[in-house]
Amino acid sequence: MSSIRAPRLDDVASQAGVSAATVSRFLNNPDVVAPATAERIRQAIAATGYVPNMTAGALAGSRSRLIAALVPDIAQSLFNDTVEAMIEKLAEEGNSVVLALTGSDNHRLDAEINMALARRVDAIILTGIVSDPETRERLRAHPLTVIETWGLPDEPIDVAIGFSHRAAGEEMARFLRGRGYRRPHLVVPRSTRSERRANGFVDRWVRDGGPEPTRLEVNVPSHFGQGRLSFRALTDLAEMPDVVVCGSDWIAQGLIVEAQAAGMRVPDQLAVTGFGNLRLAGDMRPTITSVDVDGSHIAREVIRVLRARAAGDNVEQRIDVGFRVIARESA
Amino acid sequence: MSSIRAPRLDDVASQAGVSAATVSRFLNNPDVVAPATAERIRQAIAATGYVPNMTAGALAGSRSRLIAALVPDIAQSLFNDTVEAMIEKLAEEGNSVVLALTGSDNHRLDAEINMALARRVDAIILTGIVSDPETRERLRAHPLTVIETWGLPDEPIDVAIGFSHRAAGEEMARFLRGRGYRRPHLVVPRSTRSERRANGFVDRWVRDGGPEPTRLEVNVPSHFGQGRLSFRALTDLAEMPDVVVCGSDWIAQGLIVEAQAAGMRVPDQLAVTGFGNLRLAGDMRPTITSVDVDGSHIAREVIRVLRARAAGDNVEQRIDVGFRVIARESA
DNA sequence: ACGAGCGATGAAAGCGCTTGCAAGCCTTTT
DNA sequence: AAAAGGCTTGCAAGCGCTTTCATCGCTCGT
């Protein structure tokens, strides 16, 4: 491989008989150059095999076209649909996504935020909750677009796109009460949002005159196996519940499988609900009653906000995309 | 927000009473500056609140510390563990991962490769298969580290880390034959690798004197629901199989659930195997016999290769991480 | 005690692109 | 017919860092 220098903007420019500035303009905004010039540049690019250097472009233009997405994990995450949709849509406009994993601990979050700042990303998308007030302040101080997704904090760092988890919990309580259930049991992943939903559920349930629901906490990320364990843990309760409200569809699925293996009929002897409305919720036997959150809707709003910001337009601080209880067979 | 200029290297330098070069050295290799100087610089950084500009650094040093990971999808992917482990490990050394989605079509792959090249990434990690010979050539021509994972092509573009899918198929055939099964049926996702495994299975099975297995193709990405459908499709067969070999654990799980709902006992009346050895395989009722591929092992090798390349060392072209059939209850 | 050798630092030349400013050339307006 | 604009394009000054080369002290060996 005779290491010839990779072609630069200059090479294309001289090849096309124009200045580098014109080629740059063509690349970033084809319409501003005269059609004939554009054509010559196009040919020069093809002839030289030019591939732009976005690093140089980012430095000169102070616009990296890089978006940082900070998520707790991707192995088992409700956010994957959102993230996937976001990446796809951003790619269409020449943006790339740097995916960083924060786990559920604050230390890594901070490190990843620093990395994002160092890379001069155009925006940071958060899916986990940033609980540390200091970090929130630091982020708020930056003239950077920061989008919190899936939640809807009272005071967003910058922009929040999501829904009220408390309301979702309340709505599920209302729904199950309407269906005539009496003794709910909650399986709650140890995450801020799950807890918020659980609290919403309990408050509403009790306010409506129901007995205080029993409750089991499980680790995050939640998964199928925990559902099975959670079913077995039911035997520790003084009284068997008639419906188990699970923090995720995976837990619900595992719980159903274990219940059936134990010879119980779902929902007749034990009803179950999930959360997230993953594809499997509709596919399971019985199909799982769940709470739907439209991940691609969130992604769409993210894109809209990013575009608005780029155009200098104002943006709402809190965007509620809502949720829907999806009634199916399991409860 | 009084838009004061963000502090630069120069600011830190003058604050510490040294030149920018020294600060740069400290940042990239703390040991080369004198301890006393290092301490002054550290304080200056803290005092100014300096955050390095990696874009500028990348341009000047022609090293972006950016790795592109091209995957088909993340919503339902066997690679997620690998990708997650990779991102985590890379983050520890100050590298970031740009995640790009290629779906299963060549056009997007090409576009994402161009994007990666434009960003001057230090390496490209591929998890899907690059089937287009032209693209392979183009990549090969680049003096760039390209790592193909999960597969083990005869002629890697650069470096391949994975295992032989054909061998995995053969091994499963041997295993099931050893367990006394007679009439296997294959559920095969429409992906190059799944097909390779299926072919390995069939070849081996037939060579060992078994009857030609029946076969059903399903779309990718594969998921739970397809397992259910695949079970129902069994009724179309002339004869019921005694074991269904599924292209993924999700399919296996769905198939088991549907079989049980139909009143069949697994594995007594119908055995099932999966692929990927996802966590759920060990958690399912019955636990699912699967093929384990150590995603974090692959990730580890990726890191090792990247490090070796950075150090200028030579690297093997094909790294076989192997696989293991995990015998469980379902077959 | 003196030159060799080494460790620590500084000066300065880029890295490859973007963009404000100004110039040149037409078309339109008065 | 001259002035006023509107389009295109070129010039050149950076963007904030890395890295080569050279310099300056010092320590060390003899």
Contact A331, A273 (CB under 8 A): yes
Q: Which positions in strand C are less than 7 Å from the protein's CB atoms?
A: 7-20
Q: What is the pLDDT of residue A2?
A: 42
The CA–CA distances, whole Å, from B51 to A55, A111, B6, B88, B94 equal 18, 12, 8, 22, 14
Query: A60 and chain B: CB distance < 8 Å anywhere?
Result: no
Does the pLDDT at position B320 exceed 80? yes
- Average pLDDT rounded to a whole number, residues B220-224: 94
- Average pLDDT rounded to a whole number, residues B313-319: 94
The H-or-E segment that residue A136 falls in is helix A133-141
Determine the residue among A119, A120, A279, A284 to mutate to test chain B binding: the one whose Cβ has the most chain B Cβ atoms within 10 Å: A119
A162-171, pLDDT tens digit by residue?
A: 999 999 999 9
Residues 6+ apart with CB under 8 A from A205: A173, A177, A184, A213
A197-243, pLDDT tens digit by residue?
A: 999 999 999 999 999 999 999 999 999 999 999 999 999 999 999 99
Contact B80 A74 (CB under 8 A): yes
Cβ contacts (< 8 Å) between B284 and chain A: which residues? 224, 257
Contact A305, A145 (CB under 8 A): yes
Contact B284 A55 (CB under 8 A): no
Chain B closest-CA separation from residue A162 CA (Å): 19
Q: What is the pLDDT of residue A1?
A: 40
Query: A75 and chain B: CB distance < 8 Å anywhere?
Result: yes
B249-300, pLDDT tens digit by residue?
A: 999 999 999 999 999 999 999 999 999 999 999 999 999 999 999 999 999 9
CA of B32 to C1' of D28 (A): 21
Q: What is the pLDDT of residue A181?
A: 98
Q: Is the CB of B21 under 7 A from strand D?
A: yes
Does the pLDDT at position B243 exceed 80? yes
Nearest to B53 among A74, A98, A120 (CB): A120
- Grade residue A156 by pLDDT with cuts at 50, 70 and 90: very high
- Grade residue A57 by pLDDT with cuts at 50, 70 and 90: very high
Q: What is the pLDDT of residue A312?
A: 86
Q: What is the mean pLDDT of chain B?
A: 95
B130-160, pLDDT tens digit by residue?
A: 989 999 999 999 999 999 999 999 999 999 9
3-class DSSP assignment, residue A131: coil
- Average pLDDT rounded to a whole number, residues A154-168: 97
Window 89-128 of B: residues touching A by CB (8 A cutoff) are 91, 94, 96-101, 111-112, 114-115, 117-120
Contact A245, A273 (CB under 8 A): yes
Chain A closest-CA separation from residue B178 CA (Å): 28
Q: Is the CB of B53 under 7 A from strand D?
A: yes
- Average pLDDT rounded to a whole number, residues A301-330: 95
State the nucleotide closest to B11 in CA–C1' terms.
D16
Contact A42, A98 (CB under 8 A): no
Dist CA B322 CA B162 (whole Å): 7
Cβ contacts (< 8 Å) between A51 and chain B: which residues? 114, 117-118
Cβ contacts (< 8 Å) between B120 and chain A: which residues? 53-55
| Percent of chain B whose pLDDT exceeds 70 | 99
Q: What is the pLDDT of residue B3?
A: 58
Q: What is the pLDDT of residue B1?
A: 41
DSSP conformation letters of A70-92: EES-STT-TTHHHHHHHHHHHHH
Q: What is the pLDDT of residue B232?
A: 97
Nearest to A280 among B59, B91, B224 (CB): B224
Q: Is the CB of A65 under 7 A from strand C?
A: no
* Lowest pLDDT segment from A31-40, A170-179, A267-276, B105-114: B105-114
- Grade residue A84 by pLDDT with cuts at 50, 70 and 90: very high
| pTM (2 d.p.) | 0.95
- Average pLDDT rounded to a whole number, residues B308-331: 95
My answer on whether omega of the bond before B213 falls inside 30° of 0, hence cis, is no
B65-85, pLDDT tens digit by residue?
A: 999 999 999 988 999 999 999
Q: What is the pLDDT of residue A4?
A: 74
Query: B87 and chain A: CB distance < 8 Å anywhere?
Result: yes
CA of B12 to C1' of D11 (A): 33
Query: B329 and chain A: CB distance < 8 Å anywhere?
Result: no
Contact A115 B94 (CB under 8 A): yes
Query: A296 and chain B: CB distance < 8 Å anywhere?
Result: no
Dist CA A15 CA A252 (whole Å): 63
